[in-house]
Amino acid sequence: MLSTKHAVLLVTDAAINIILGVLLLLFPAGLIELLGLPPTPSFFYTSIFGAVLFGIGIALIVEVIGASRHIRGLGLGGAIIINLCGGAALLIWLLKGSLTIPLRGSIVLWSIALIVLAISLAEILTKSWSNRS
């Protein structure tokens, strides 16, 4: 059985992934322009990334719902690693300074990086990924 804090972190992480995934899957062109992100000649990678995020979110939900039935999805340990890798890669792009994007794009990307890294930090600090919380 999952602890309450473990379930809350899993659902929060899942919600973030599902929302971003759906937005990238359904509105890649409009979303990129609206947020001021770097333009791309094809939305192939944007929609694939959206599908991956959506899948990660669903896997986290399966972990919460399936815990009582011994069905495994993606646990917090995996989510932490995914979030740290994605957040770190985004921070490197932002700090490298080679992106030519409007201020709103910078704000959006910095916000995403900080949110993803913050949820990872919360998950690490609560040790909810460990069986010995």
Q: For residues 83, 89, 32 and 36, what is the CA-based torsion angle, rounded to 10 degrees?
A: 120
Indicate the pLDDT class of residue 54, thresholds 50, 70 and 90.
very high
Q: Is residue 130 part of a domain?
A: no
Residue 60 maps to a domain: yes
Q: Across residues 112-129, what is the average pLDDT?
A: 83
Residue 100 belongs to a domain = yes
Q: Does some domain include residue 46?
A: yes
CA distance linking residue 123 with residue 56, whole number of Å: 16
pLDDT band for position 31 (cuts 50, 70, 90): confident
For residue 132, tell me if it sits in a domain: no
Provide the number of structural domains found in the chain: 1
Strongest mean pLDDT among 52-66, 73-87, 89-103: 52-66
Q: Is 66 part of any domain? A: yes
Domain that holds residue 15: 4-125
CB atoms within 10 A of CB 30: 10
pTM: 0.73
Please report whether residue 53 resides in a domain. Answer: yes
For position 130, what pLDDT does the model report?
Answer: 63
37 within domain boundaries: yes
